[in-house]
Amino acid sequence: MIAAIARHLIESTVFAAIVAVFPFLMRKRGAACRHLVWLIAASKFALPAALFSFVGIELRGLFPAYPAAFATPIGLSSFVPLQAPAASTANSTGALPLLLFAVWLCGGATMLAVWLRRMRVPRGPLLDPSESENTTFDKLARRLRVHGHVVLRTTKARIEPGVTGILRHTIAVPEGLSSELETREFEAVLLHELAHAKRRDNLCVGFVHLLTCLFWFHPMLWWIERRLIAEQERACDEIALRCGASADEYVSGILKVCRFHLAGAAASACGIAGSSLKDRLEAIMSFRTETVIDHAPRLLIGGLASVMIAVPLVFGFFISPPIYGRVAKAASSVPGSAARKAPLNCSFAGKSYPMGSVIREGSGGKEQMCVEDMQGHALFVKTNDAARERSRKVIALPLPSPFTCQPAHSGSGKLCGCQTGAGLSLFSPGAIVESAGGGYLRCRLDGEGTWRAATPAERGIRGKK
């Protein structure tokens, strides 16, 4: 588990580091475009490549077996989950894995609790706005084409104007703010908050912050979250300016909101104060609608999405199950000490078969091939034409099988056992046998030496004419 998480984090970090270059090359595009790129970089941490590869494998099982179109390039091996026993890697309950898990759990739970507490900070009762405020709000909502899911409320608390809610939004403004601002300044502030609701920024920020809570130890996610929030604010500023807000009046309105909220020494409590405020005001004053490209580059967005989703899914689909294993090389081709290593064999009904052997039950019956996985373990996999071309020989067994399996303890941590009339028979992981109770069983690949029901696809039934 730790190795899988580490591989996912390495893949996500490399992907995010490459994606992070693009926003700095997109200065002439709108902030919404850069915000989308940052969101894609963060989303990679929630989308393991192995997940889409597994989906591709499952989709591949819906089609008849055919020779693989291509083999997996070595550089893409991390996208493909190996179908192999976990006995050698799951060295279970060591002290270090438990300690790391406890530290991760405590850190994530603490961050999540702090976040939820901030979200539930009481703002006092929400009151209906005045008639003039409501009229202004309705006019601006129609201008932005925001209907139904957004309402305006006032509060006696000295807070910044803000948006709450995920699907249905409430814009809360402090009572008396409209009287402190000029009409056009108040409209610009409301346009900004309506833009947040239109873009559903709360949903986006909540998703990214949840990832940050989950991988709280990863500094790149913290940095991506800050960049995403900064671009989100600028995107809403650009929407407000495009919808008729004057840059001068907008800046004046923002400064008056800060003065209304901060009250002197509490300046650090303002969400828009600090060094980002200066950069934001400069961006507002220098914004020119005619010089900013609003739409995102489709080729770039499509390419990034393909790398995250389509590439591992396609590789999972076109790589048939036998490719997860590899037929053992002849001892003469292995140099050095590896050549002196004892050859691996698979067990089937208590008999030993060399790597590359194909077990066929009856004429035209199901076939199982003995292979060696990437970790050096022997197991059976469902075969197909491509695998048979690589096999050394085919061993034909009579059909029906001379025994039916009554699962029994094998006495081995890797092999599965069957109690038959002839005694105890042993089978390697992946072997499929007929059950004494009807149906077929398959020896699990996790190295625990237990059986499970074999699926029709594993038995080779699906796709036959």
pLDDT digits (tens, 9 = 90+) for 241-289: 998 889 999 999 999 888 887 653 344 445 454 447 888 888 899 888 7
Average pLDDT of the residues in 370-378: 73
pLDDT given at position 300:
85
- For residue 400, count other CB atoms closer than 10 A to its CB: 11
DSSP class of 360 = E
pLDDT(71) > 80: no
Supply the pLDDT for residue 148: 75
Retrieve residue 312's tokens: 């591992």
Element (H, E) at 74: none
pTM (two decimals): 0.63
What pLDDT band is residue 121 in, cutting at 50, 70 and 90? Answer: low
Structure tokens at 440: 């077929």
Q: Where does the pLDDT of residue 331 fall: very low under 50, low under 70, confident under 90, or very high at 90 and above?
A: very low
How does strand 357-361 pair with strand 393-397?
A: parallel
Mean of pLDDT values over 203-217 = 93
Contact (Cβ atoms closer than 8 angstroms) between residue 436 and residue 429: no
Please report the pLDDT score of residue 248 as a whole number. Answer: 92
C-alpha to C-alpha distance for 398 and 272, rounded to whole angstroms? 78
Run of H or E residues at 403: none
End-to-end CA gap in the chain: 40
Of residues 69 and 353, more confidence is placed in 353
Average pLDDT of the chain is: 77
Q: How many CB atoms lie within 10 A of CB 375?
A: 13
Residue 58: pLDDT above 50? yes
Q: Is the pLDDT of residue 367 over 80?
A: no
Res 352: pLDDT:
81
Q: 225 falls in which pLDDT band (50, 70, 90)? A: very high
- Any long-range contacts for 286-294 (C-beta under 8 Å, 24+ apart)? 287/237, 287/238, 287/241, 287/247, 289/241, 289/242, 291/28, 292/28, 292/29, 292/30, 292/238, 293/28, 293/29, 293/30, 293/33, 294/29, 294/30, 294/32, 294/33
Q: How far is CA 369 from CA 61, 140, 214, in A?
A: 17, 69, 41
Residue 11 tokens read as: 């893949």
Region 154-178: what's the mean pLDDT?
Answer: 87
- Mean pLDDT on 355-382: 72
Entry field: residues in the chain = 465
Share of the chain above pLDDT 70, in %: 73
3-state SS of 315-343 is HHHHCCHHHHEECCCCHHHCCHHHHHCCC
Closest to 26 in 3D by CA, of 295, 303, 275, 237: 295
Which segment of 51-55, 89-93, 167-171, 303-307 scores lowest on mean pLDDT?
89-93
Q: What is the pLDDT of residue 463?
A: 43
Lowest mean pLDDT among 127-131, 199-203, 253-257, 367-371: 367-371
Angle at 136 between CA 155 and CA 240, to 5 degrees: 95
Q: ∠ at Cα 309 (20, 4), nearest 5°?
A: 85
Percent of the chain with pLDDT over 90: 26
What are the helix (H) ranges across 287-392? Answer: 298-305, 311-318, 385-390
**Would you kindly state where each structural domain of the chain is located, as residue ranges?**
331-459
Q: What is the pLDDT of residues 395-434, one digit of tens each?
A: 655 544 456 788 888 777 778 888 876 678 888 888 888 8
Cα 374–Cα 380–Cα 385 angle in degrees, nearest 5: 95
| Local confidence band at 220 (pLDDT 50, 70, 90 cut-offs) | very high
Q: For residues 437 and 418, which has the higher predicted lDDT (pLDDT)?
A: 418
Question: Is 84's pLDDT higher than 50?
Answer: no
